[in-house]
Amino acid sequence: MPDSPVIDVAGLSVTYGDFAAVRDLSFTVHRGELYALLGTNGAGKTSTLEVIEGHRKATSGTVRIFGASPQDRQAVRPRMGIMLQESGFSPDLTVEESVALIGSLSGRDDTVDRVLGVVGLTRKASTIVAQLSGGEKRRLDFATAVYGGPELVILDEPTTGLDIQSRDALWAAVDRLREAGSTVVLTTHYLEEAQERADRIGLMHEGRLHREGTVAELTRTLPSVITFGLPPGAPEPPTVGALNGAFHIETFQLQDDLHRLLAWAHDRGVELEKLQAGPTRLDDVFRALDAA
């Protein structure tokens, strides 16, 4: 049997009144992939996820999850775990009651103890939701998404408000889900998280899928940058452009140009100051969006 996409979005538009928040959006997510849907504020990511989650109807276009309509709860819900940006837990339920409730609604098999262990909330099992810290609430949101190890996990800004230990724990849990074969869709404003983990990235801007590809594909079109300063009286460096008092080289051959610069400095006994060299980052691709 051919491996059909887990998520298939085709020509999706979402409008609010006469404002088009999502415009003719198409992308697919394949089994086992971690797909990061990134974008500027208001780009339409949450609106898109809401359609995928079955919480909002498309204005036009189609969305299929495991080949079914997102509105087909019976077909989709047991296979999809969702971590929303804001949860709707009842404040007077305890942590374990909340997980048990969402777990039973999911239709997946699991135990509350296991899930609380995964998200590090075991010691808070009897605490009511109203008394959780912001980060603990986020972990509770995550618990409901990973209950029963769903085949598809949607994570909408999962690490916002989490300390570094909680972030590491969350990504370790995501890694375990992926090892078990789960597909993950992620939105985040922490670009380094997407840069490190995403198999592919869809970059949304003003309702459209502006760019799509692996991190390498997205960054390849922008040059890498080398910056450095020179001590007073140093000779003229090899062909570079000067910027803000420091020297600034934009290059598509980072290794070659860096080698040439270092050899030049070494031959003349020049100590380069504040030398920095790095590949193009996703941040740069984002900054270039404004110029698009």
Ligand X SMILES: Nc1ncnc2c1ncn2[C@@H]1O[C@H](COP(=O)(O)OP(=O)(O)OP(=O)(O)O)[C@@H](O)[C@H]1O
Our CB check for ligand X shows the closer of 45 and 64 to be 45
CB of 115 to ligand X, least distance (A): 27
- 82: contact with ligand X by CB under 6 A: no
Q: Is 202 near ligand X (CB under 6 A)?
A: no
- Distance (Å, rounded) from C-alpha 167 to C-alpha 12? 32
Within the chain, residue ranges assigned H as helices are: 45-52, 73-76, 95-106, 112-119, 134-146, 164-179, 191-197, 215-219, 254-268, 282-291
- Min dist. Cβ of residue 140 to ligand X (A): 21
Residue type (1 letter), 285: V
Q: How far is the CB of 247 from ligand X (least distance, A)?
A: 36
- The burial of 240, by beta-carbon neighbours within 10 Å (0-12 exposed, 13-18 middle, 19 or more buried), is given as middle
Binding status of residue 18 toward ligand X by CB under 6 A: no
Binding flag, residue 42, ligand X (CB under 6 A): yes
Among 6, 27, 46, 149, binds ligand X (CB under 6 A): 46
Report the nearest approach of ligand X to the CB of residue 206 (Å). Answer: 9
Contact call for residue 39 and ligand X (CB under 6 A): yes
Are 142 and 85 contacting, i.e. CB atoms less than 8 angstroms apart?
A: no
The residues with which 80 forms a beta bridge, in sequence order, are: 152
Q: Does 16 bind ligand X (CB under 6 A)?
A: yes
Give the shortest CB-193-to-ligand X separation in angstroms.
14
Are the beta carbons of 52 and 7 closer than 8 angstroms? Answer: yes
Q: Based on CB atoms, which residue is closest to ligand X, 124 or 205? A: 205
Residue 41 binding ligand X, by CB under 6 A: yes
Backbone phi, psi, residue 96, to 5°: -70, -35
In the complex with ligand X, the residue whose CB is nearer, 13 or 46, is: 46
Local structure of residue 123 (DSSP, 8 states):
G
**From candidates 12, 23, 47, 137, binder to ligand X by CB under 6 A:** 47
Of the candidate spans 41-49, 101-109, 144-152, 257-265, the one that interacts with ligand X by CB under 6 A turns out to be 41-49
Query: Where does residue 279 rank: exposed (0-12), middle (13-18), buried (19+ CB within 10 A)?
Result: middle
Apex 160 CA angle, 128 and 120, nearest 5: 45
From the number of C-beta atoms within 10 Å of its C-beta (0-12, 13-18, 19+), residue 247 rates as buried
205 binds ligand X (CB under 6 A): no
- Could you tell me if 237 and 264 are in contact, meaning their C-beta atoms sit under 8 angstroms apart? yes
- Please report how close the Cβ of residue 283 comes to ligand X at its closest, in angstroms: 15
The Cα 106–Cα 104 span in angstroms is 5
Piece of the chain touching ligand X by CB under 6 A; list 2-10, 13-21, 163-171, 224-232: 13-21
Binding ligand X (rule: CB under 6 A), the pick from 7, 9, 29, 44 is 44
* For ligand X, the closer CB: 209 or 261: 209
Is the CB of 21 or the CB of 83 nearer to ligand X? 21
The footprint of ligand X (CB under 6 A) covers 16, 19, 21, 39, 41-47
